[in-house]
Structure 1
Amino acid sequence: MRIIPVLDLKGGQVVRAEQGRRDRYRPIITPLSASAEVVAVAEGLRGLHPFSTFYIADLDAIEGRAPNEDALSRLREMPQPPELWVDAGLASDEGFASALGTPSLCPVLGSESQLDEVLLRRFMSHPDLILSLDFFADGFRGPEALLENPDIWPQRVIVMTLAKVGAASGPDFPRLREIKAKAGNRMVIAAGGVRNEADLLELSSLGIAAALVATSLHDGTLTPAQIEALADKSP
């Protein structure tokens, strides 16, 4: 089970997500870092484990404001620069083409930002593209074609259940089972609700390849020893 830490960016800082209610997100307070500055938080997370990949939700870009380019640049300048999975609300050919040409960056096509399936069809075979199927409290957010046509899914698919994020209520196991059954041999990544080692072991038993995790890393529920043990079991 691969663990990928999440960095939610807003106003140049890392914020703590709360069930997809983005108006409530505030700069993160964590024992892993003295500030909410993105590199400080990333380094704090790497103090738990030498994570090689981070998932970035650029909330400003997703909501139509200026993207957090400076914060992303600072992450790319870290020692042993991480691979960055970035959802920046991209919804244009030019945006995706540029992102796919950026070293160490894997653009995330978030369903909530799409008007139709055209972009996904155009780029679905690119090895760096990641699809995020976004579920809010009121259900799936995005064109139904993205959810109903697994033939156009790329090799990595995130199941993003935003109502579970920061809620300490456990992953959305029924939905993950449903998406995994449709995905075939694709890599399915769980996002939202991971509380502890037991949740990760259950996800692994379902064939889920990775999990995006934040709260349980910051609150110490997942220990360095547990993370290491889970990483040793990853394919």
Structure 2
Amino acid sequence: MLLIPAIDLRGGRCVRLRQGRYDDETVYFDDPVRMAKLWRVMNARVLHLVDLDAARVSEGPPAEDNRDVIARVAAGLDIPVQVGGGVRTLDDVQAMLDLGVYRVVLGTAAVREPDLVSEAVARFGDRRIVVGIDARDGEVRTAGWEEGSGRSAVEFAVEMERRGVRRVVYTDIARDGTLEGPNVAAYREMGAALQKAKITASGGVGGYRDLLALQALDGVGVDSVVVGRALYENQFPCQQFWCWHRKDEVDLERFSSARLALRG
């Protein structure tokens, strides 16, 4: 089970939303680049970034985004960085890749323009394109989780697989940021419906027992998990607490020996 630290970006800072609500925000750090390097020092092999400012825009280009931060994070690390939020066109995908991002997550655009997903996979390859499926009560949500789509998460995942997608990041919005445990049943249901695509779980992880529960789903294609709040709040016994309390003294330019995880 590959554990992927998450950095949600809003206004250039590291934040977490509870259950996707923009009015329930916690700011953890002001410097996402230092935060990203700290995760790397602590042996992260992949990093997950979400541009919340860009994701919230329903139509047209966002008034503000965090692309400058994303570029600095990608340039400062030696591991793959995957980014979602506000990616609406093939040009947006190319722009992200040009910033040094390894993998791009399509969310709202995949729901509204599924043909775009097919075109993106054909142009950039299935290792560079991921579909993010954010759901509440099994319904796919869009525009930064604020709008319903009327689409079933499982049926939508199957359609994306038919279009060439080989990885989905599946977030249960009701669990996200709560530390109340992942929706194991939902991941099992989606995994059983897919034949080729792998699932990265997201939402609700509160401790190592939740990771063990997800690891048991390896047989249905759940092979990784995005974790945010639990890491920020030191919910795992193995975390290096000195990195938090003395983080200004940690040499963030000397990364660990973790191998790169350029996987599907």
Match of 1:77 in 2: 75
Counterpart CA distance in 1 for 2:71 and 2:93 is 18
> Is the 1:108–1:129 contact (alpha carbons within 8 Å) kept by the matching residues of 2?
yes
Paired residue total: 222
Change (3 A) 1:153 1:161: farther
Counterpart CA distance in 2 for 1:122 and 1:56 is 23
Match of 1:166 in 2: 177
Change (3 A) 1:133 1:102: same
Counterpart CA distance in 1 for 2:185 and 2:177 is 19
- Could you tell me which runs of 5 or more consecutive residues in structure 2 were left unpaired when the two chains were aligned: 143-148, 241-257
Change (3 A) 1:182 1:113: closer
- Are 1:199 and 2:202 counterparts? no
The two structures have a TM-score, normalised by structure 1, of: 0.83
Match of 2:102 in 1: 105
Match of 2:236 in 1: 222
Change (3 A) 1:40 1:225: closer
Change (3 A) 1:112 1:123: closer
- Are 1:9 and 2:9 counterparts? yes
Note the C-alpha offset of 1:101. 5.1
Counterpart CA distance in 1 for 2:98 and 2:11 is 25
Q: Deviations over 1:124-144 (max 9, x none)?
A: 351210111111368322553
> Is the 2:168–2:200 contact (alpha carbons within 8 Å) kept by the matching residues of 1?
yes
Change (3 A) 1:111 1:68: same
Match of 1:51 in 2: 44
> Is the 1:91–1:114 contact (alpha carbons within 8 Å) kept by the matching residues of 2?
no
Q: Deviations over 1:51-100 (max 9, x none)?
A: 1311111011112332201211221232x433211002212232223334
> Is the 2:4–2:47 contact (alpha carbons within 8 Å) kept by the matching residues of 1?
yes
Is the deviation greater in 180-189 or in 169-178?
A: 180-189
> Is the 1:89–1:113 contact (alpha carbons within 8 Å) kept by the matching residues of 2?
no
- Are 1:146 and 2:144 counterparts? no
Identical-residue share of aligned pairs (%): 24
Q: Which amino acid aligns with 2:168?
A: V
Q: Which amino acid aligns with 2:44?
A: F
SS, match of residue 121 in structure 1: helix
Q: Deviations over 1:202-227 (max 9, x none)?
A: 1111111000001111222223379x
The two structures have a TM-score, normalised by structure 2, of: 0.75
Counterpart CA distance in 2 for 1:2 and 1:138 is 24
Q: Deviations over 1:165-195 (max 9, x none)?
A: 1112110111101111122232211000011
Is the deviation greater in 52-61 or in 88-97?
A: 88-97
Counterpart CA distance in 2 for 1:136 and 1:111 is 14
Note the C-alpha offset of 1:121. 1.9
- Are 1:189 and 2:200 counterparts? yes
- Could you tell me which runs of 5 or more consecutive residues in structure 1 were left unpaired when the two chains were aligned: 29-34
Note the C-alpha offset of 1:197. 1.2
- For the aligned residues, what is the CA RMSD? 2.7
> Is the 1:192–1:212 contact (alpha carbons within 8 Å) kept by the matching residues of 2?
yes
> Is the 1:85–1:108 contact (alpha carbons within 8 Å) kept by the matching residues of 2?
yes
Match of 2:22 in 1: 22
- Are 1:135 and 2:135 counterparts? yes
- Are 1:41 and 2:35 counterparts? yes
Is the deviation greater in 105-114 or in 82-91?
A: 105-114
- Are 1:115 and 2:112 counterparts? yes
